[in-house]
Amino acid sequence: MATLREYLNAKIKSKGSTLAKEKAKAKKYKSISAAKKAGALYYTNKAGKVMAAVFAEDLKKPLAPKKSARPKARPKPVSEAVFVERENTRMRAEEKAAYEAKLLEAMNAIGITAKTRKARGFDPLGLAKPKPRKKKPTKKKSNIK
């Protein structure tokens, strides 16, 4: 169910017309039925006033669903540059694996295990200070006499 305004706006938009053009056509028609038969949206009544040529049943009908204004994404064309980029990505992945292997060898030579590396991260230059260790609370000795 639509309001009169929604109904008229939808009809004007579907015709691809404007409100002024549709109201200008109203002079030709003197009754609702004559305007409806001709496909006009407005008519002129006996007093000379421009009125909407709409029946109550027209407003009870559902309007056409609104179309999405969002455009569909087009697939990007696959070119040679994409294949070159994919190949470069593979090379970077292989270089990264080789770097990780060298790093692991260096850590093993220093004496850092993978467990400590995961816990505090690896510092190849030794710039980071070691984590301060928490002191265990000491038990107070009671003075027994």
What is the C-alpha to C-alpha distance for residues 17 and 6, in angstroms, rounded to an integer?
15
Q: What are phi and psi of 144, to 5 degrees?
A: -100, 125
What is the C-alpha to C-alpha distance for residues 29 and 12, in angstroms, rounded to an integer?
18
Sign of CA dihedral 111, 112, 114, 116: positive
pLDDT at 59: 87
Q: Of the segments 19-33, 84-98, 99-113, 114-128, which one has the largest average pLDDT value? A: 19-33
44 pLDDT above the threshold of 90: yes
The pTM of this model reads: 0.44
Identify the band that residue 88 occupies on the pLDDT scale cut at 50, 70 and 90.
low
Residue range 135-142: mean pLDDT, rounded: 68
Strand partners, 43: 51
Domain spans of the chain? 4-60, 80-120
Q: What is the DSSP string of 13-55?
A: HHHT--HHHHHHGGGG-SSHHHHHHHT-SEEE-TTS-EEE---
Residue range 20-49: mean pLDDT, rounded: 92
